Amino acid sequence: MGMTLAERILAKAAGRQEVSAGEFVVADIDLALLHDIFAAQVFDMLGEVGVDRVSDPDKVVVVIDHLVPAPSAEAAALHQRIRKHVARAGIKAFYDAGEGICHQLLPERGHVRPGMLIVGTDSHTTTYGALGAGGTGIGTSDMVYALATGRLWFRVPETVRFEMFGELAPWVSWKDVILHLAGRFGADAAQYRAMEFGGPAVKSADMSSRLTVANMAVEMGAKFGLFAADEITDAYLRDHGGVGAEPFGPDQDADYEAVHEILLSALPPQVAMPHEVDRVGSIVDVEGLRIDQAFIGSCTNGRIEDLRVAADVLRGKQIASGVRLLVVPASRRVLQEALDSGVLATLVDAGASVLPPGCGPCFGGHGGLLAPGERCIGTHNRNFVGRMGSTDAEIYLGSPATVAASALAGHLADPRHLEVTNA
- Averaged pLDDT, 127-151: 97
User: Do β-strands 280-282 and 293-296 pair in parallel, antiparallel, or remain unpaired?
Assistant: unpaired
The band of 363, judged by pLDDT with boundaries at 50, 70 and 90, is: confident
**Model confidence over 182-241: pLDDT tens digits?**
999 999 999 999 999 999 999 999 999 999 999 999 999 999 999 999 999 999 999 998
The radius of gyration of the chain from alpha carbons, rounded to an integer in Å, stands at: 21
pLDDT value at 421 more than 60:
no
The pLDDT value given to residue 419: 62
24 CB-contact burial (10 Å; exposed 0-12 / middle 13-18 / buried 19+): exposed
Mean pLDDT, rounded, for 380-388: 88
Helix (H), strand (E) at residue 107: helix 102-108
For position 157, what pLDDT does the model report?
A: 98
| Residue 241 confidence (pLDDT) | 82
Q: Say whether pLDDT at 60 is over 50.
A: yes
User: How much is the pLDDT for 191?
Assistant: 92
With a cut of 60, say whether residue 420 has pLDDT above it: no
* In contact, 407 and 311? CB cutoff 8 Å: no
* Residue 422 pLDDT: 47
Looking at the predicted structure, is the pLDDT value of residue 137 above 50?
Answer: yes
The domain segmentation of the chain, as residue ranges, is 5-263, 271-417
Whole-model pTM: value is 0.94
* Angstrom distance (rounded) from CA 8 to CA 21: 11
pLDDT at 306 over 60: yes
Instruction: Give the tens place of pLDDT for each residue, 334-346.
Output: 999 999 999 999 9
Whether residue 170 is preceded by a cis peptide bond, meaning omega within 30 degrees of 0, is no
Q: Which CATH class is domain 271-417?
A: alpha beta
Dihedral pair phi/psi, residue 63, rounded to 5°? -130, 130
**For 382, which DSSP code?**
-
Are 54 and 86 contacting, i.e. CB atoms less than 8 angstroms apart? no
For residue 358, the one-letter residue type is G
Do domains 5-263 and 271-417 share one topology? The answer is yes
| Residue 97 parent element (H or E) | none
Do 177 and 216 touch, CB atoms closer than 8 A?
no
Q: Quote the percentage of the chain above a pLDDT of 70.
A: 99
User: In this structure, which amino acid lies at residue 193?
Assistant: R
- CATH number listed for the domain at residues 5-263: 3.30.499.10
pLDDT on residue 423: 43
Task: Name the pLDDT band for 1 (thresholds 50, 70, 90).
Answer: confident
Report, as an integer, the average pLDDT of 120-146.
Answer: 97
**pLDDT at site 279:** 95
Mean pLDDT of 53-57: 93
Is residue 338 a contact partner of residue 344, using CB atoms and an 8 Å limit? yes
